[in-house]
Structure 1
């Protein structure tokens, strides 16, 4: 079991409180916690961008792992996300976990110019994204991928292993994707949630 701290609330870390966020990450590192997390809501201007914050805080710490809980997949295309997360893994000495979700808060997401997906489409897109992110890491031959939501041709994978992938799934189908393709699960707001 891992123990960590969220640097902010469900909506992310307040951009007006950057010093406090930095201090809490360093304190968590020095205190022996395993993980710090940042939420990803790129449509909220008063919140720290999760990946900018993750990069900065991993650079300010030496031992603790960092994760985004969870990456808002519709706003971060899988090929770009694969490059970002493998770069962060290389820069931090492997101290990063990729938290990924199918997307929620669609009324806000579409403000970014992202097409709205149904719940079923969102889960299918997450499934493709996990497969593609794994294909685009660990080196090897250029990747050919022709899915419904992602298509790449001749894209070279990063010569860095895929970091652990955890999902923030909650429905039966997305939990099945988690069990089949992910390395871990981050239940959101489910301290008292029980499986039937």
Structure 2
């Protein structure tokens, strides 16, 4: 799983053959196919693993914040740290959807589920801050856009720009509430 994740993330799913995964994992193709009957199954396994990593990292970052507003903004601080990693290549879910979304309904479903879960988490955090659900959805769009922008531009500043926009959005929504 780790070898496939590393290879798919660095080179793309289509560019990586199962033989390359076998070599990097140092296991036989027979064993890989026992665990993952198809390449799509392996991609889905990698995406489930990525979901766990994303959730664990994000929850740690958000959990360190002391206010509901701070927990919303911590999402963008988490993105900033991630965008600065040497191997950052964008969102593995977006990348996988771009490559396989049209040809693999199963991969598309996993990606859609992850994105819907992230949006639901932000809606819940927005509610905890006394904000309407729509703000959570809007913050998710800012986060997703920052991921894509940082990957394409190679500039991690997209996280800070999205954080600034998030602060304006949160403050405007709080002002409307009064």
Give the structure-2-normalised TM-score. 0.33
Higher strand share: 1
Which of the pair has the greater relative contact order for Cα pairs under 8 Å at 6+ separation?
Answer: 2
